[in-house]
Amino acid sequence: MRRSARLVAGLVIAILLAACSGGSDAPTLNLQVIEAARAAIAARTNPPAERPPVTRAVLDTLDGTFLEITREREDVTAFLYPSYTTRDSEPGEIVVWRTDSNETVTVRGGVLIATRGLGGDLLSTEVLLAGSRPGPAEGGARTYRVFGENNRQTTLAMACEVTDMGPETIEIIEIRHATRHLREQCQGSGGVITNEYWIDARRGLIRQSRQWAGPHVGYLRLRQVTD
């Protein structure tokens, strides 16, 4: 990936996640992205402010694959790039999505398994994957390990069931995608949670999802905006 693309990712995260990581200075690479980022921050302190969207024209100037992630509680959005990929004996490719300031979100087969740098992080997740397609298996156990109070690890055991909601066409920044919508409901020591996945079978990836990252981070919305 060209360094310019990675710098844009770092630029957006530096501005948009300032409330989480303290922020940092960033070079002026793209006026439209910068203005969208500034509007997002302004929206948190001044709700009437309107947030300009990031357009497909902006994304088309970038080289590489990017994942858009939104923290629902704070309504804060950022773009991350894949910094590391690997496979092991278990189903699903492991991808670490990263910012230049080193916040990371890790997925296996598109399913969230860890975060770092977000505060109260999801340390690891044990999940059963379908194997034949991206996403979780039809049901089974799920174990979340989260960073809790007093710097201690907390383990949350859940039982999950997946429902096939059928085909659904979604739009991600001006492009429509044919997907299959899966809804996963889990309950246990973490309470009751609902994860959702929109699977693009043609490309073999989870095009969009809404996944729980533990009681501190809450829900993350993930959209793969470029391939």
The answer to whether 212 touches 114, Cβ cutoff 8 Å, is: no
3-state secondary structure of 87: coil
Q: Where are the alpha helices (DSSP H) in the chain?
A: 3-16, 18-21, 31-45, 56-59
3-state secondary structure of 131: coil
How many structural domains compose the chain?
A: 1
pLDDT at 195: 97
How does pLDDT run across 26-39, given as a tens digit for each residue?
333 344 454 554 45
Among 148, 141, 204, residue whose Cα is nearest residue 177: 204
Spans of the chain, pLDDT less than 50: 1-32, 34, 37-38, 40-41, 43-45, 48
Residue 180 phi/psi, 5° resolution? -115, 130
Q: Which long-range contacts (CB under 8 A, 24 or more apart) does 20-29 make?
A: 20/71, 20/74, 20/76, 20/103, 20/117, 20/118, 20/119, 21/101, 21/103, 21/117, 24/101, 29/4
Per 3-state DSSP, what percentage of the chain is helix, strand, and coil (rounded to 5)? Answer: 20, 50, 35
What proportion of the chain, given as a percentage, has pLDDT over 70? Answer: 77
For residue 74, what are the domain limits? Answer: 3-226
CB 55: neighbour CB atoms within 10 A? Answer: 13
Contacts of 184 (CB under 8 A, 6+ apart): 136, 160, 161, 162, 163, 194, 195, 196, 197
pLDDT at 181: 98
> Mean pLDDT score of the chain, rounded to an integer?
81
pTM of the model: 0.76
- Residue 49: CATH number of its domain: 2.40.360.10
pLDDT at 151: 77
